[in-house]
Amino acid sequence: MASAQSNNSKITGIWQVDNPTIGDAYLNNYRFFPDGTFKYEFNNYDDRGRIIAAKGSFKLKDSVLTLIIKTRTEIIGGDLVEGNPGFQQEELVLEGGKEIEVKQKITTPIVLILHWFTRKKVLGFKLGNNTYYKISSNPKE
């Protein structure tokens, strides 16, 4: 049990893809909580995506991360409108709509291998084709 707890403390926090710096919004990121739950948030700069987050539980043993997705947050409704060139990347964006929580039907564990590293004193891990950097020890930020 102590081993699982120490692994959870290593991964607890916010891990952002591609960049260890926070702008005015987050890129894709994982938020791992000490109680063994996680939240994956999709890029906050994407003003067109309908799936905005996934939540579930995780286990970390050495470098093996197992995720079980239990729910996802989606946007239903809304309209495509012209984006604001001053702060939105795309010319067409989704405006309005309602966020709903959708229970995941398939809860097959997703097993991922993390490759840990430290760059310029920032802890990170490579996961498939993506690199994640620890940007906070507090997953509630």
Domain limits, the chain: 2-136
pTM of the model: 0.87
> How many residues are given for the chain?
141
- Residue by residue, pLDDT tens for the chain (141 residues) are 334 445 688 899 999 999 988 888 899 999 999 999 999 999 888 777 889 999 999 999 999 999 999 999 999 998 888 877 776 677 888 888 999 999 999 999 999 999 999 988 999 999 989 999 999 999 998
Instruction: Name the residue among 34, 45, 53, 44 with its Cα closest to residue 140.
Output: 34
Chain position carrying tokens 């093996």: 64
* CATH number listed for the domain at residues 2-136: 2.40.128
